[in-house]
């Protein structure tokens, strides 16, 4: 009989954090799971540790494959799963004992949702929570959802997908998601040639088409440390990469279910991205001469966004910015008649 949940753990040289990750999996109150570990020939003792755990845990299946990148590791794990639900347990993060229990229950009670999202906690390399002003709810996503992050609710597609156009990844870490496996069967797996930001494209692809249930429990962590595979999305170069991924995800959604995304115009929504590209590109250049040259280049490449940047700098204070990305995308969602989250009883 197949397990209810398949836990995917790709591994590459995270030996200092692996014991805590594996222990938090074994400590789950929900026990109907399998654990698929794919190690990319770690040379720091990770594989030996994984083998030791597997000797004592029959629900573990362990494999080694050549190094092809983090998302190839995700995909390799997922292809081996047999459960109804997929949980991707990145090897340097953790989960609370009731993580699977609560997320499985949420999806079991809401058959119209294929994604379950929980609240997230940022921790340091010693597993200590970061200060409150550096936590997940302080990111742009918290500015958008506000009180919604404190209550159970549903968000119907394409709501979360559209949010990606404001550089809101919505699902900050894959560790805060439980995913029905049928979703991977329907829309495919993670892109493997997008560096460390490919989850943005997959999550946008998914949330343009499928509904999400959110539960306001902190059930997963995202560890901030010097060796993690993350990239700052707010550089001008990375914003352009994200914009390309947004176009790709929207094009896929239109081919898959044109009715669901029929009113969404890439050219219209991408304005907020282009505005961000100009703003970040100016801010990341320290010298005045460099700022001016970059601004001059943007005048030709992104004229509308550049014009607004100049006008906003001249006439609007930061507190009264008319096209703040979060406020702009919120207004656009209303205009598209994509309804706000629907409050649910506590889940």
pLDDT digits (tens, 9 = 90+) for 172-221: 999 999 999 999 999 999 999 877 788 999 999 999 999 999 999 999 99
What tokens were used for 131? 């200060």
Helices (H), 126-193: 140-145, 159-163, 181-187
In degrees rounded to 5, what are phi and psi of residue 177?
A: -125, 140
Query: Does the structure show a pLDDT above 70 at 228?
Result: no
Instruction: Report whether 279 contacts 317 (CB < 8 A).
Output: no
What is the pLDDT confidence band of residue 315, given thresholds at 50, 70 and 90? low
Cα–Cα separations (whole angstroms), residue 169 to 148, 156, 201: 16, 16, 9
Both tokens assigned to 118: 């929980």
List, for residues 278-313, the tens digit of each pLDDT value.
888 888 898 999 999 999 988 888 888 888 778 777
Neighbouring C-beta atoms of residue 86, cutoff 10 Å: 23
Superfamily name with CATH number, domain 1-92: Spore Coat Polysaccharide Biosynthesis Protein SpsA; Chain A (3.90.550.10)
pTM for the model stands at 0.91
Q: What's the chain's average pLDDT?
A: 90
Q: How far, CA to CA in Å, does 265 sit from each of 27, 145, 277?
A: 46, 23, 19
Scored b (16 or more CB within 10 A) or e, 21-53 reads bbebbbebebebbbbbbbbbebeeebbebbeeb
Residues 269/221, Cβ–Cβ less than 8 Å: no
For the record, the structure tokens of 255 come out as: 């081919």
pLDDT, tens digit, 9 for 90 and up, residues 124-143? 999 999 999 999 998 888 88
Torsion sign, CA atoms 245, 249, 255, 259: negative
What is the Cα–Cα distance from 263 to 16, expressed in whole angstroms?
A: 48
The full set of domain ranges for the chain reads 1-92, 236-338
């Amino acid at each position: 009989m197949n397990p209810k949940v398949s836990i995917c753990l790709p591994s590459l040289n995270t030996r200092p954090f692996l014991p805590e990750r594996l222990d938090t999996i074994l400590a789950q109150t929900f026990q109907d799971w399998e654990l698929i570990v794919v190690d990319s020939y770690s040379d720091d003792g990770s594989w030996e540790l994984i083998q030791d755990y597997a000797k004592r845990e029959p629900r573990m299946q362990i494999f080694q494959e050549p190094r092809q990148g983090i998302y190839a590791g995700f995909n390799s794990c997922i292809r081996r799963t047999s459960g109804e639900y997929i949980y991707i347990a990145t090897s340097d993060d953790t989960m609370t004992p009731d993580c699977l229990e609560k997320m499985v229950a949420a999806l079991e009670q809401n058959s119209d949702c294929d994604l379950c999202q929980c609240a997230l906690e940022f921790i340091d390399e010693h597993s200590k929570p970061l200060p409150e002003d550096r936590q997940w709810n302080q990111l742009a996503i918290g500015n958008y959802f506000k009180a919604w992050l404190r209550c159970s609710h549903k968000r119907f597609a394409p709501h979360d997908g559209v949010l990606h156009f404001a550089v809101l990844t919505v699902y900050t870490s894959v560790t805060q998601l439980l995913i029905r496996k049928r979703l991977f069967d329907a829309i495919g797996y993670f892109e493997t040639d997008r560096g460390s930001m490919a989850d943005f494209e997959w999550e946008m692809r998914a949330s343009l088409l499928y509904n999400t249930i959110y539960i306001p429990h902190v059930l997963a962590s995202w560890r901030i440390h010097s060796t993690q595979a993350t990239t700052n999305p707010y550089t001008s170069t990375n914003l352009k990469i994200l914009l390309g991924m947004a176009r790709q995800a929207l094009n896929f959604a239109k081919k898959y279910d044109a009715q669901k995304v029929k009113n969404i115009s890439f050219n219209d929504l991408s304005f907020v991205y282009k505005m961000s590209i100009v703003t970040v590109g100016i801010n990341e250049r320290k010298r005045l001469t460099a700022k001016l040259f970059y601004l001059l280049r943007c005048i030709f490449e992104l004229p509308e966004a550049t014009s607004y940047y100049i006008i906003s700098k001249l006439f609007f204070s930061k507190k009264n910015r008319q096209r703040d990305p979060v406020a702009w995308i919120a207004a656009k969602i209303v205009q598209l008649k994509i309804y706000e989250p629907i409050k649910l009883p506590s889940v």
